Amino acid sequence: MQKIIIVLGVFVISWNSVLSQDYYIEASRNAIVRNEPDKNGESRLKLVRGEQLNVVTNQQINRFYNVFLPNGETGWVSSYVVRLYDGMAPNVQPVA
């Protein structure tokens, strides 16, 4: 029983570190952040090449990343026009 608890504890710690991993995107060309993960979604923000946003999760939906906007809300940007990096965006102020 003690071995199971130890293994379970290691798994929980490992899984928690995966979930708490920070990511950010950088626009590799002009990009549109939309209100939903769809190319027909309403435009919320336009990015120019090199602009960065922190990412909610690195998991894509319909080839879109869910990102934090400067105003604290979230939006969606196509994975085709951005690059994903580990860590927090160095050029973006954290949103409260």
- Give dist(CA 13, CA 5) in Å, integer: 12
- Give dist(CA 1, CA 94) in Å, integer: 43
Half-sphere exposure of 42 (CA within 13 A, CB side): 3
Residue bearing tokens 């919320």: 44
Residue 71 has pLDDT above 50, yes or no: yes
Q: What is the pTM of this model?
A: 0.76
- The string of pLDDT tens digits covering residues 6-35 is 544 444 444 444 445 799 999 999 999 999
- Decide: 81 and 25 in contact? Cβ < 8 Å: no
Alpha helices in the chain (DSSP H): 2-19
- Give dist(CA 51, CA 69) in Å, integer: 12
pLDDT at 90 (0 to 100)? 87
Q: Is 45 helix (H, G, I), strand (E, B) or coil?
A: strand
